[in-house]
Amino acid sequence: MSNINFIQKSDLFSYTATRCLRNEYFHNDCHICIDLCPKGAFHIVRNKLTLFENECVGCAGCIGSCPTEAFEIESFDPNGFAASYQHQNESTISCKTSTPCLGIFDVEHYTVMALRGEKSVVCDLSHCEGCVLNENGKLGESIREKIDATNRFLEMIQTPQRIETIDVKVEENDRRALFRKGFEKVKESITEESVAHISMTAAHHKRPDVKMPLKRILLKNSLKEIIPGLETTEFTQSSPLFFNKQIDFQSCTNCGDCTQFCPTDALFTTSDKQGIVFAQGKCIGCGICEDICKPNAISKKEGFSLVSVAFERAEQLVHYEMVTCHECRCPFPYKGGDPICDRCSSYIKEFSNMFTLAKDM
């Protein structure tokens, strides 16, 4: 079966295989959704992520954890909800009243809601412990980790907003009945006329050659609004949201594999094809570039710039002068010394004995 425009559906839930990192790069080992799914609906078949439709209950708990937005649910759009949160009458986000499982949101969504809203964002997590979807505790733990990461980022950039939680435990007699009731609520929300359910994500994905997740675009737009009021926009520590890269000049061969396989075009070549440029705002931290680099020239770098992230400023990591190798007459990135490419230099060293004349032996 072809993976081109391959979409699997289970009732309201859909999975687009062409947006999955495991399909983007054969050796990628992303398994977040597999670990989170309470029903074990995701499986690896021939090293490709596959949804077993008959096992999926459409709970939406995995949606927020996918870095490339490969999952969607027809009745609720987390990007639409986050973008319109400041206009909501109710500030409390709850799976019992306003949304599906809070696992539908990612750190980007929580950050957008916090930055755009004038009121505190309150997440009702009191139902997580008794929820049938959280029997192994993984889904609830994931939600709390994302909220904690959001608050760490908000504290780092010194904004007053925070994500608050309601953790009071409640008694639930029939957990499975409550889950069925909650799932029916999600189905019914299809007919509701609410800005929270306008499918911004679906419209975004219909645009040609779209590689950037919409949640990342919403976050960058939100940062543009607050940057003028921040005391500092340059940070030396790592962030749960933004990533930085560096390339070792001596190790890099300018082969271009990292730019070819980057799923969001965070790494791209210069116009003369002799250098590599990195855009922090586009990087989702998938690690494909580091894994695919044969000489291990790419590595993580501490620090990030909010201005570079928000306004998509890119940094040139390396640039080479291309010269012609004196042996094979092919162009190669020159790094000093004799104008001989690495391939020829290695060949001469390994097989020098083949060129030794009998009179010299």
Which residue in this structure is represented by tokens 């291990």? 296
Kindly list the distances between the CA atom of residue 154 and the CA atoms of 107, 279, 349, in Å, as whole numbers in the listed order: 11, 22, 55
Kindly list the distances between the CA atom of residue 128 and the CA atoms of 63, 81, 85, 177, 331, in Å, as whole numbers in the listed order: 17, 21, 22, 15, 60
Instruction: Decide if 93 contacts 101 (C-beta within 8 A).
Output: no
Please state which architecture CATH assigns to domain 233-319: 2-Layer Sandwich (3.30)
Domain boundaries, the chain: 7-225, 233-319, 322-360
pLDDT tens digit sequence for 147-206: 999 999 999 999 999 999 998 765 545 545 555 555 455 445 444 444 445 678 888 888
DSSP 8-class letter at 11: T
pLDDT tens digit sequence for 85-103: 988 888 899 998 889 999 9
Percent with pLDDT over 90 in the chain = 57
Give the list of residues 6+ apart from residue 360 with CB closer than 8 angstroms, or none.
none
Q: Is residue 2's pLDDT more than 50?
A: no
Instruction: Decide if 239 contacts 158 (C-beta within 8 A).
Output: no
DSSP 8-class letter at 287: -
The pTM score is 0.84
Position 319, amino acid: H
Q: What is the mean pLDDT of the chain?
A: 85
CA dist 160 and 163 (Å) reads 10
CA dist 225 and 89 (Å) reads 22
Of 118-127, 143-152, 295-304, the poorest mean pLDDT is in 118-127
Q: What pairs with residue 245 in β-bridges?
A: 300
pLDDT tens digit sequence for 200-228: 888 888 887 778 999 999 999 999 999 99
Q: Nearest-CA neighbor of 31 among 39, 19, 43, 17?
A: 43
Give the list of residues 6+ apart from residue 347 with CB closer than 8 angstroms, or none.
none
DSSP 8-class letter at 41: -
pLDDT tens digit sequence for 67-84: 999 999 988 999 999 999
The whole-number pLDDT of residue 184 equals 54
Q: Is residue 140's pLDDT more than 90?
A: yes
Quick one: average pLDDT of 339-358?
Answer: 70
Helix crossing, 138-156 with 107-116: angle to 10°? 50
Alpha helices in 170-293 (DSSP H): 175-188, 200-205, 214-226, 257-261, 288-292
The whole-number pLDDT of residue 361 equals 53
